[in-house]
Structure 1
Amino acid sequence: MTTGVGAVETSGPAALPSRVTQDLDGKDTPDISPAATRTRRLVRLAAIAVAYYLGARLGLSLSLVGNDVTPFWPPTGVAVAALIVFGRSYWPAVAVAALAVNLPISANPLAAAVTAVGNTLAPVVAVTLLQRVGFRRQLDRQRDALAIVFLGALASMLVSATIGAATLLASGSITTGQLPATWAVWWTGDAMGVLTVAPFLLCLPLFWEQRRWPLRLWLEAMAILMVATLVVAAAVTTGLHIFFLTLPLLGWAAWRLQLRGAAPAALIATLLATAAATRQRGPFEGKTLLEQMVTLQAFNACVALTSFFLAALVSERMQTAAALEKAASELERRVEQRTAQLSAANTRLVQEIQERSEAQELLSHEEARAQREHQIAETLQRSLLPDRLPDVPGVALAARYVPATADVQVGGDWYDVVQLPGGLIGLAIGDVAGHGLTAAATMVQVRMALRAYALQDPSPPAVMRGVHQLVAQLPVPEMVTLIYLVFDPATRRIRWTNAGHPPALAFAGGQGTYLEGALSPPVGVTVDGSFTEASQVLPPGATLLLYTDGLVERRGVSLTAGLDRLDREASAVPDDDIEALCERLIDTFLDEDHIEDDVAILAMRPLPSVDGELDVRLPAEARNLVQVRSALRRWLKEATVSEADVNEVLVACGEACANVVQHAYSGQGSAGELVVEARLDGDALEVRIRDHGHWRPAADRGGGWGLQLMDALMDDVDVEHTPGGTDVRLRRRVHVGVEA
């Protein structure tokens, strides 16, 4: 026997309205107490179990193989319908009822339990498949009818039939020769329960959910059911092969009454045909059990498919007609509205003609205002772009910004470089679509937001989500494209996410590759921004180029051609000067007399160590200590110094650098220069930390712990104070040749 498990709880276009889904699926609403919820659930579980059991007793009365194999098994329809309406969490009621039904008729408790598992599992599979295809319990679409016939009944019930027949064979209840017929009867009975009982039960809520029937439709429905009963009864008692007369009646019911009429008619036809098969009457007389089941299954499948498919087709057509009627009514209303608008527009036109001369006089003033706005926007944009790129040890940076020519308003192109914790570097370039002060102002907000989010969490998806949330709240009618990358100088790994911006170009040795992964729509366009991350390791000596679309887009030329040209031109520039790279791209791609759109370029190239020595020069500021530490760590690892030596050298050097930041320029208005040099001769490492400041005499209040720490970590520490600054030399024997 079979049972139906798993409510079809869909979302999207096929989902029920929120209120109806909560009512029918048994989901608790906020105003129902936990006790009432538990009581409701227990009542439903008991009702499902009782209905299942009673349906099983009815089905067993039609047994063909022993006492437990029947060609019509109503419990499958009961279970599928109940679990579709109330939810798959009610499957225990089906399992308990199935076990109660099978215990008295099985060879032993184990066989009963295995059969009950099959009775429960088959409907679970059926409803899961229905859920996957977006099944609607109203059966008002053609695909719903096809789904319940082929997926819910014919395919899924193979599970219970196979498990049940195999259990009977294993327990000795049937012989091997009886197995095919037993399996066919079992499958027929389970499938028929889904095909007839489930749609009948699912149609019952439609009587109060959908439009009420007038009296004439009730009379017509009763007439259809009576005629269908008489025709099928005659077909199974006279011995004439007139089963086909049932199909026009079912078509009549589906056409006139849809599912509410087709489901009861199909149930009556199936019940009468099944009863005839069990008694070997009419078309089933004189046939083997397998032949009877094949005939019965074919008839019932045709009945169900014809009824439900035609009912769904009629429902779809009625919905389409209603939609067309509504659209026609809306069109008529809009035509009337548009006619009134045109009449009003004609009146306004007369007035506008009179005002034309006044508007002409104001035009010159507007042109002057637009020119001034262009100048203000350009000044604003230039003033808020980075005045200089940060000094990052071991990394060369260059950038250019070229505004559009005067006859076109300035746009919202921008770039930025952010020094992040842990020695990471954040690179960003973006474009606010549109022109004028609005685009420039939006650019400023987006750039500042990206910098703030990057310092809080440098992960590309996290930063992009923060910017997306900001842009979504701004009154920006145009979209904002943006690409944000995080570069780790120590590993040369770059991570990025791209929101609708032209891809970055990485090239080395005359070969270029566009970073095309981690793509998403421009920020602020969708309601819920979803961003991913991609990563790639830059080859040694590679250059990373970011740019805005004004560099490669031209009217009448495909974007692909522009990107191919950029790859060729960039790869042709010598690898030793990224400033020359930026200049060449500007000279090659832009026309000095007419620049249609703003152009921003940002280039980055990791610098290899020169002659095995390190030379870092940065302002003596606390925020630069992490850059020094990162550069020294990278240099030591490239020299294959052991990790233990690297850590101790970094601590000692950090103490010396911190002293420079704290003391060397304390009496000056601005920070001076911090110089860190390192060289490795065999296993002899020397690190030199220099400044050009004047240290104040040490106060007699303790201290000196930093120097003691350096002495403990290094083999030799030499500190020399001169009028020109302080020179600290740290020396140590290190282990070389260890992979970092």
Structure 2
Amino acid sequence: YVEVLSGGPLAEVLRGVRPVFADAPAARDALPELVGTGPDVPSGQRAILAPLRGRRRVIGAAVFLRRPERPAFEPDDLLIAAQLATHTALGVDKAVLYGREAYIADELQRTMLPDELPQPTGCQLASRYLPAAETARVGGDWYDAIPLPGSRVALVVGDVMGHSMTSAAIMGQLRTTVQTLAGLDLPPQEVLHHLDEQAQRLGSDRMATCLYAVYDPVAHRIVIANAGHPPPVLLHRDGHAEVLRIPAGAPIGVGGVDFEAVELDAPAGATLLLYTDGLVESRQRDVWTGIEHLREKLTATARLTRPGTSAPLEPLCDEVLDILGPGDRDDDIALLAARFDGIAPSDVAYWFLDPRAQTAGQARRLARRALARWDLEELTDSVELLVSELVTNAVRYAERPITLRLLRTETLRCEVGDDVPQLPRLRQARATDEGGRGLYLVNRLARRWGATRLSTGKVVWFELSVS
């Protein structure tokens, strides 16, 4: 590396662009600046100084030498030196641009992946992401876990076909679309349908595969829809691993196809693994051979765990990645693992209530009985107050029966649902206002609270710590 002095002889030669013999006045003064105090450069026309000009700028210089016993360079050799310098400069320039693009694409992809996974009720999550080897370009793999109303969680994994910064950018757009669609609480097949429409509007020829699943810890069920993605693997508590047979569907971006969802049991203690094809497919094996290898690896890992217990989730992810063979990875890898803990029926209380003036009092009594059954009487005052506020707000506008549900896990969660899609907004009530203090109380007393719009209305919820 040489620092070029502004206005110096080397800068003058580099601005000239064309190769020159070392005995030219400009080159004679520039060579010491370029090569330093090292070996003497042959005199006469046995040395050529050639600027390396890239696409838009000079990126360096090359020196061509001939030994003293060989004939000196001729003027035609300047043309050959110019061609060699041009090809060298373009190659170096291309490598620099490629490295910069790969770095930007990799950073772009990493920033679009979740910084941390949520901690949904009744479900444990773990994930891994491995970029492709340096010899491959960045891809468009992604994963996500999105909390849904009713303590459910959406599990997503996808892969944009191709390897480039464009693939990473399309991945970011599709992931954002999935998050928006999940917020509408659409069925998995509808999410994929709208995602396919979004891909069509992007106007790109890139396709993507995607698997979207919704886990309900209360019902112990999972609904899955697939768009051309490798099937998930379910590891049961007893160590048996099975590849879930779900309709493969067409990739996102094909257009004009229907997606089908299947509903399956999600037994407590089971672990669902969602992954991209980089984990199971390589130049040495096809995708189905890799999936079978993954299933066998899960079964073997489960045998190392004490009978009747599930393998720890984080070490399980590390064991799964061990199926990768030696050598470069041709594709990046996204892995999402979900351990189904579920919520026992004895920890759930659920009611339908008619929207009447007396409903708030009825809701308080029902909540009080549930807390007494769970030995949580110390929360009675807070729960009755907050339930009364939420139910009163729901009754004021609802036309159909409202729902009240209590869930007891490491926290106590209360959910009130109605058929009004407008979400409540926290505001500071004035001294002369008769209402507007309900959410203020919820915000002050609850550990957490929120509201989610559904296709049939909304759900407002709050959580209290269980000592």
Could you state the TM-score of these two structures normalised by the residue count of structure 2? 0.57
Return the match for 1:580 from 303, 315, 323: 315
Q: 1:494 aligns to what? A: 222
Q: Higher helix proportion, which one?
A: 1
Equivalent runs, 1:627-638 vs 2, <5 Å: 634-635=343-344, 637-638=345-346
Once residues 383 and 142 of structure 2 are traced to their aligned partners in structure 1, the CA distance between those partners, rounded to angstroms, is: 35
Please tell me whether the aligned partners of residues 347 and 408 of structure 2 are also in contact (alpha carbons under 8 angstroms): no
Q: 2:330 aligns to what? A: 596
Cα offset, 1:702, TM superposition: 7.4
Q: 2:340 aligns to what? A: 606
* Superimposed CA distance per residue, residues 93-144 of structure 1 (whole angstroms, 9 cap, x where no aligned partner): xxxxxxxxxxxxxxxxxxxxxxxxxxxxxxxxxxxxxxxxxxxxxxxxxxxx
Q: 1:216 aligns to what? A: none
Aligned CA-pair RMSD = 4.1
Structure 1 counterpart of 2:321, one-letter code: I
Return the match for 1:482 from 197, 210, 219: 210
Tell me, which stretches of 5 or more residues in structure 1 are unaligned?
1-353, 609-633, 662-675, 680-685, 690-695, 711-718, 720-726, 731-740
Cα offset, 1:473, TM superposition: 2.4
Structure 1 counterpart of 2:346, one-letter code: E
Q: 1:330 aligns to what? A: none
- Secondary structure of the residue aligned to 1:602 is strand
Cα offset, 1:477, TM superposition: 2.7
* Superimposed CA distance per residue, residues 503-548 of structure 1 (whole angstroms, 9 cap, x where no aligned partner): 01111121122222232111112x3131111110112211110000
- Secondary structure of the residue aligned to 2:322 is helix
- Secondary structure of the residue aligned to 1:407 is coil
Structure 2 counterpart of 1:445, one-letter code: Q
Return the match for 2:103 from 360, 372, 375: 375
Once residues 382 and 602 of structure 1 are traced to their aligned partners in structure 2, the CA distance between those partners, rounded to angstroms, is: 15
Equivalent runs, 1:671-710 vs 2, <5 Å: none
Please tell me whether the aligned partners of residues 128 and 335 of structure 2 are also in contact (alpha carbons under 8 angstroms): yes
Indicate how the Cα distance of structure 1 residues 463 and 356 shifts in structure 2: closer, same or farther if over 3 A, else same. Answer: farther
Q: 2:71 aligns to what? A: none
Residue 246 of structure 2 is aligned to residue 517 of structure 1: yes
- Secondary structure of the residue aligned to 1:550 is helix
Residue 91 of structure 2 is aligned to residue 363 of structure 1: yes
Return the match for 2:150 from 422, 430, 440: 422
Indicate how the Cα distance of structure 1 residues 414 and 641 shifts in structure 2: closer, same or farther if over 3 A, else same. Answer: closer
Indicate how the Cα distance of structure 1 residues 729 and 639 shifts in structure 2: closer, same or farther if over 3 A, else same. Answer: closer
Please tell me whether the aligned partners of residues 523 and 529 of structure 1 are also in contact (alpha carbons under 8 angstroms): no
Structure 2 counterpart of 1:514, one-letter code: V
Cα offset, 1:437, TM superposition: 0.5
Indicate how the Cα distance of structure 1 residues 587 and 728 shifts in structure 2: closer, same or farther if over 3 A, else same. Answer: closer
Return the match for 1:432 from 141, 155, 160: 160
Indicate how the Cα distance of structure 1 residues 357 and 478 shifts in structure 2: closer, same or farther if over 3 A, else same. Answer: farther
Please tell me whether the aligned partners of residues 374 and 406 of structure 1 are also in contact (alpha carbons under 8 angstroms): no
Once residues 729 and 423 of structure 1 are traced to their aligned partners in structure 2, the CA distance between those partners, rounded to angstroms, is: 16
Q: 1:507 aligns to what? A: 235
Cα offset, 1:364, TM superposition: 1.2
Structure 2 counterpart of 1:427, one-letter code: L
Once residues 465 and 533 of structure 1 are traced to their aligned partners in structure 2, the CA distance between those partners, rounded to angstroms, is: 11
Indicate how the Cα distance of structure 1 residues 362 and 397 shifts in structure 2: closer, same or farther if over 3 A, else same. Answer: same
Please tell me whether the aligned partners of residues 155 and 212 of structure 2 are also in contact (alpha carbons under 8 angstroms): yes
Q: 1:548 aligns to what? A: 276
* Superimposed CA distance per residue, residues 379-404 of structure 1 (whole angstroms, 9 cap, x where no aligned partner): 11111100011121221011111101
Equivalent runs, 1:692-731 vs 2, <5 Å: none
Q: 1:249 aligns to what? A: none
Equivalent runs, 1:376-455 vs 2, <5 Å: 376-455=104-183
Indicate how the Cα distance of structure 1 residues 729 and 420 shifts in structure 2: closer, same or farther if over 3 A, else same. Answer: closer
Cα offset, 1:705, TM superposition: 9.5
Structure 1 counterpart of 2:250, one-letter code: P
Once residues 465 and 101 of structure 2 are traced to their aligned partners in structure 1, the CA distance between those partners, rounded to angstroms, is: 57
Cα offset, 1:595, TM superposition: 2.4
Indicate how the Cα distance of structure 1 residues 556 and 422 shifts in structure 2: closer, same or farther if over 3 A, else same. Answer: same
Once residues 207 and 433 of structure 2 are traced to their aligned partners in structure 1, the CA distance between those partners, rounded to angstroms, is: 60
Cα offset, 1:678, TM superposition: 5.4
Structure 1 counterpart of 2:214, one-letter code: V
Indicate how the Cα distance of structure 1 residues 451 and 658 shifts in structure 2: closer, same or farther if over 3 A, else same. Answer: farther
Q: 2:5 aligns to what? A: none
Structure 2 counterpart of 1:393, one-letter code: T
* Superimposed CA distance per residue, residues 658-714 of structure 1 (whole angstroms, 9 cap, x where no aligned partner): 8999xxxxxxxxxxxxxx9959xxxxxx9799xxxxxx9x989878997xx99xxxx
Structure 2 counterpart of 1:365, one-letter code: D
Once residues 334 and 189 of structure 2 are traced to their aligned partners in structure 1, the CA distance between those partners, rounded to angstroms, is: 23
Indicate how the Cα distance of structure 1 residues 705 and 449 shifts in structure 2: closer, same or farther if over 3 A, else same. Answer: closer
Cα offset, 1:427, TM superposition: 1.0
* Superimposed CA distance per residue, residues 138-166 of structure 1 (whole angstroms, 9 cap, x where no aligned partner): xxxxxxxxxxxxxxxxxxxxxxxxxxxxx
Once residues 485 and 522 of structure 1 are traced to their aligned partners in structure 2, the CA distance between those partners, rounded to angstroms, is: 16
Structure 1 counterpart of 2:330, one-letter code: E
Cα offset, 1:408, TM superposition: 1.3
Indicate how the Cα distance of structure 1 residues 359 and 656 shifts in structure 2: closer, same or farther if over 3 A, else same. Answer: farther
Indicate how the Cα distance of structure 1 residues 642 and 602 shifts in structure 2: closer, same or farther if over 3 A, else same. Answer: closer
Once residues 168 and 350 of structure 2 are traced to their aligned partners in structure 1, the CA distance between those partners, rounded to angstroms, is: 50
Q: 1:563 aligns to what? A: 291
Give the count of matched residue pairs. Answer: 307
* Superimposed CA distance per residue, residues 463-515 of structure 1 (whole angstroms, 9 cap, x where no aligned partner): 11111011122243332111111111111211111111100111112112222
Once residues 641 and 445 of structure 1 are traced to their aligned partners in structure 2, the CA distance between those partners, rounded to angstroms, is: 39
Q: 2:191 aligns to what? A: 463
Indicate how the Cα distance of structure 1 residues 657 and 399 shifts in structure 2: closer, same or farther if over 3 A, else same. Answer: farther
Cα offset, 1:589, TM superposition: 2.3
Please tell me whether the aligned partners of residues 458 and 486 of structure 1 are also in contact (alpha carbons under 8 angstroms): no
Q: Does 1 or 2 have the higher relative contact order (CA < 8 Å, sep 6+)?
A: 2
Please tell me whether the aligned partners of residues 138 and 163 of structure 2 are also in contact (alpha carbons under 8 angstroms): yes
Please tell me whether the aligned partners of residues 137 and 164 of structure 2 are also in contact (alpha carbons under 8 angstroms): yes
Structure with larger Rg: 1
Tell me, which stretches of 5 or more residues in structure 2 are unaligned?
1-81, 353-361, 372-379, 391-405, 415-427, 446-462
Once residues 206 and 325 of structure 2 are traced to their aligned partners in structure 1, the CA distance between those partners, rounded to angstroms, is: 25
Could you state the TM-score of these two structures normalised by the residue count of structure 1? 0.37
Cα offset, 1:428, TM superposition: 0.8
Once residues 164 and 437 of structure 2 are traced to their aligned partners in structure 1, the CA distance between those partners, rounded to angstroms, is: 58
* Superimposed CA distance per residue, residues 388-438 of structure 1 (whole angstroms, 9 cap, x where no aligned partner): 111212210111111012221111000011112333211110111111211
Indicate how the Cα distance of structure 1 residues 474 and 678 shifts in structure 2: closer, same or farther if over 3 A, else same. Answer: closer
Once residues 478 and 687 of structure 1 are traced to their aligned partners in structure 2, the CA distance between those partners, rounded to angstroms, is: 45
Cα offset, 1:453, TM superposition: 1.5
- Secondary structure of the residue aligned to 2:291 is helix
Equivalent runs, 1:94-493 vs 2, <5 Å: 358-493=86-221
* Superimposed CA distance per residue, residues 576-599 of structure 1 (whole angstroms, 9 cap, x where no aligned partner): 4211111211234264x6322100
